[in-house]
Amino acid sequence: MTATGIDSTILRQFEEDGFTVVRGLFGYDEIDRLCVEFAALHAAGRVVPGHFEPKPTADPLHRYPRVMQPHEISALALRFLLDARLRVILEALFGEEVLAAQSMFYFKPPGARGQALHQDNFYLRVEPGTCVAAWVACEAIDRENGGLEVVPGTHRMDLFCPEESDAGLSFAREYVAPPEGLAAVPVDMRPGDVLFFNGSLVHGSQPNRSAGRFRRSFIGHYVGRSAERIGAYYRTLSMGGERVPLLESEGAGPCGTERL
């Protein structure tokens, strides 16, 4: 343990590799309630502009689109985003107070495309510094159902200029090839596990090739209190829930430029 109360191996792996997994941070009962909340949103069949806009097409990701900024329409999602357990770990990783910048919920049903390798701060454009993601697994997540892959070490590198991704494999346009000598490695997770990773870390996922398994996940993005700028899409909050506006940075947008 360190002075922060966080296991030193967590901090060391984050520093060395750009990511770390905290196992069982949330209980199965908490994850179940979160999944029920979003299942109800989908079952209601309503469009919530700017947050949830399902479409009756053959594409699984149109029928089950990701929910953007769900903490603005769900009190439960807001509690997850601002959870004290996340706050303790994030403040240890940043070394300072943190602000919440974004939340997302992914259903990723069977047959859904993945998201090509990318860097989150390409979209958030945090200045100075970067963002950190807290990626909460809502069920067993592995290579078969499109679990995350990360490229250790890329967190020490600058933002790359993305290439065009393969439209048959990725719903997002951007693709960052692993630098020479580095490779993507899978991160298998169980419900309640949380993957924390640096905003410059190259990461992504393959399609969900399972016969009947979703790959649901809840994601929060956070920035250090010393950050001065961020994209206008990201409405930063203190971990107490108060709005803390930052100056606007250029070139930012929602995570992953979706194909129409």
**DSSP 3-state of 225:** coil
So what's the pLDDT on residue 4? 57
What is the chain's mean pLDDT, rounded? 95
Bridge partners for 185 per DSSP: 150
So what's the pLDDT on residue 5? 62
pLDDT interval class at 3 (50, 70, 90): very low
Cα separation, 205 vs 150, in Å, equals 9
- 10 Å Cβ neighbour count for 244? 17
38: tokens are: 């979003």
8-248 belongs to CATH 2.60.120.620: yes
Write out the E strands in the chain: 19-22, 67-68, 98-106, 115-118, 131-137, 148-150, 163-164, 174-175, 185-186, 194-198, 203-205, 217-224, 229-230, 237-238, 247-248
179: tokens are: 């630098």
174 near 118, Cβ under 8 Å? yes
* Overall residue count recorded for the chain in this entry: 260
- Mean local confidence (pLDDT), 95-121: 98
Per-residue pLDDT reduced to its tens digit, 201-219: 999 999 999 999 999 999 9
Cα separation, 28 vs 49, in Å, equals 30
- Mean local confidence (pLDDT), 83-98: 97
- Mean local confidence (pLDDT), 147-173: 97
65 near 51, Cβ under 8 Å? no
Q: 172 CB contacts (<8 Å, ≥6 apart)?
A: 115, 116, 118, 165, 256, 257, 258, 259
- Mean local confidence (pLDDT), 68-80: 98
Per-residue pLDDT reduced to its tens digit, 179-209: 999 999 999 999 999 999 999 999 999 999 9
- 10 Å Cβ neighbour count for 245? 9
So what's the pLDDT on residue 167? 96
So what's the pLDDT on residue 1? 46
129 near 225, Cβ under 8 Å? no
Residue ranges covered by each domain of the chain: 8-248
Q: Does the pTM of the predicted model rise above 0.85?
A: yes
Whether the per-residue pLDDT at 162 is higher than 90: the answer is yes
Per-residue pLDDT reduced to its tens digit, 127-155: 999 999 999 999 999 999 999 999 999 99
227 near 221, Cβ under 8 Å? no
pLDDT interval class at 251 (50, 70, 90): confident
